[in-house]
Amino acid sequence: MTKKILTKDDAIKAVYGGCILGGGGGGWIQDGLQKTESTFEVGSPTLITIDELQDNDYVVCVSLVGAPSAKEQYVDSKQLVDTVQRMQKEFPHPIKAIMTNENGAFTTINGWSQSAGTGLPVLDAPCNGRAHPTGSMGSLNLSEMDGYQSIQSYSGGKAEKKVEGFVSATLDKSSNAVRFMSVEAGGMVAVCRNPVTMSYVKDHAAVGGITQAIELGDVFLSIPEGPDRIEAVASFLKGRVIHSGTVSHFEMNQTGGFDVGNVRIDDLELTFWNEYMTAEMNGERKGTFPDLIMTFDTKTGLPRVSAEIQEGQSIAVLSVPKENLKLSSTMFNETLLKAVEPIIQKNII
């Protein structure tokens, strides 16, 4: 079956599976579950596989930009749909489908409200199969195209913090402008950006990434609450639990619209830039972005994003080699990965 009407049950699985694939970022479970409720009030989204469209058909990426821990963030369903409708007005070709920028608790189902609200299907090919910090990492290596002009529409915030607009500039400049507006909006904006052809998507996106998140969520939720869930996830993703213990140190700062910090669990140190970037045990590297590093509550088995961690929590850490993930071409772009190093003060390359 290449076209599927998505259900609320699919969305709940996508939230949990997406949270794990978020690798510490990609939004919070409770926000994803709330989003599920509001999505199906709008209508029923549909999911299509890449073989449903022609190579020269255009698809557009939707994302949320901001700091997951921002307290005043606000984005509603109408704002999500508005960004797609504005793009349809500004872009000269018909848009045939919507793709999300990454997997995460909130981001896997980002696009579902827009699908229900516009009638456009969601494409089973997120720009990236795991969450990542920068807009360029979710831009399908468009950053490598000489003279590429990015177009992005954005909307977010409420009352006097409400912002909306459209920007056309280089990829870096437009992404920075949208990031700046997310801070003005209280911490988060919905974005619709960078229409590309299907042939380009096939070469650069994480094809099948939405289905993977739903299947992972199904595995996770099929097991009763408890540590067995973590083992089931490790088995499904062909990863391993590298350590379980108590959080002795947690530090997080909001820097330029990102959450940046580190976590210490006994002798294991994790760094994060929204998503977990490195895992080191006594100085020995156990995982390096874009490997998936993810934290779980050892008692309930629930995944915990980086901004949720607190000292004294009992946490298990999963590491999955990048070879076992569905990844975008950007995750092999050394220029983009190098940008992580000054932020977390660790080698990534």
The string of pLDDT tens digits covering residues 30-84 is 999 999 999 999 899 999 999 999 999 999 999 988 776 778 999 999 999 999 9
Q: Which domain holds residue 159?
A: 3-210
Same domain membership, residue 148 and residue 81: yes
190 assigned to some structural domain: yes
Residues 16-35, mean pLDDT to the nearest whole number: 95
CATH assignment at residue 263: 2.40.390.10
**CA 286 and chain centroid, separation:** 22
Domain assignment of residue 104, yes or no? yes
| Amino acid found at 296 | F
In a shared domain, residues 12 and 153: yes
**Alpha helices in 160-294, H assignment, sequence order:** 171-184, 198-204, 209-221, 228-237
- Cβ-based neighbour number of residue 176 at 10 Å: 16
Same domain, 240 and 315: yes
Q: How many domains does the chain have?
A: 2
Q: For 325-346, what is each residue's pLDDT tens digit? A: 999 999 999 999 999 999 999 9
In the chain, the N- to C-terminal Cα span, in Å, equals: 40
| Boundary of a domain, candidates 145, 180, 210 | 210
If asked whether residues 160 and 291 sit together in one domain, one would say: no
pTM over 0.75: yes
Report residue 306 CA to chain centroid gap: 13
